[in-house]
Amino acid sequence: MKPEDILEQYKEGKINLTDALKHFTKKGIEEMGYATIDTDRHKRTGMPEVIYAAGKTTEQVTGICKRMFEKGIDILATRVTYEMYESVKAIIPEIKYNNTARTLSYKSNQNNEQQLNQSYIAIVAAGTSDMPVAEEAVETALFLGNNVKSFYDIGVAGIHRLFDKLDEIQNANVIIVVAGMEGALASVVGGLVNKPVIGVPTSIGYGANFGGISALLSMLNSCAAGVSVVNIDNGFGAACQASLINRLVHK
């Protein structure tokens, strides 16, 4: 519930002063004991508070989602288990779960942002095995109000597949490239387009991939200009960066 809604209910006598004051806390801080929600992050940075569910219990994730829902804060949670989803859904039936991305998302109608005209972020995944990380980027970019086009399984082992989609990829404002194994796709795309490319190395690959280290080093060592790199498997971080760039184009 938004602050203005609470004040309106108090004005109309629907709630008393004690109950109304319970909804107001220190500016930007919502204390929960095991978590402190940054309620002003969106206004301050353009990026809302997001729940990283890995390492949290189902009860903690459910409690945070419930408090954010009650405060009228849109919800995005990453690295969510199905058990967590079922628990949250019992409280927020409208919550959406992407099983591949392992994300929960909820946007109230009044908080839905206008998507940025016809511009879009292209999310390119080298292999089908990279889809969980790519889908995390997709869900995050959509949550942040962007249009998205995704292109899957077009890695360098069959590079003609990339060329078949190149015009659509080139027309994006920003391109996220998700790749494991040797991570070569980020350099290839970077050498073919005139748009910012954000490389996301994934932990997909055989032993010498070292859990994504080989792909990370390949992307960091890219000779293609305009390629930046986020952490291993960090589709969320790539989408946040891409969203900020996409918005700058429209200022």
**79 secondary structure, DSSP code:** S
% of the chain exceeding 70 in pLDDT: 89
CA distance 140 to 146: 9
Contact present, 169 and 138 (Cβ < 8 Å): no
**Per residue in 114-154, pLDDT tens?**
555 678 999 999 999 999 999 999 999 999 989 999 999 99
According to CATH, the topology of domain 121-249 is Rossmann fold (3.40.50)
Residue 57, pLDDT above cutoff 90: yes
Most confident of 41-55, 63-77, 167-181: 167-181
| b/e map 201-233, b = 16+ CB within 10 Å | bbbbbeeebebbebbbebbeebebeebbbbebb
**H-state helical runs in the chain:** 3-11, 17-22, 41-45, 58-70, 82-89, 131-143, 160-170, 185-190, 213-220, 235-249
Residue 251, pLDDT above cutoff 70: no
Contact present, 178 and 235 (Cβ < 8 Å): yes
Domain ranges of the chain: 3-111, 121-249
Label residue 85 by pLDDT band (50, 70, 90).
Answer: very high
What local confidence, expressed as pLDDT, does residue 250 receive? 62
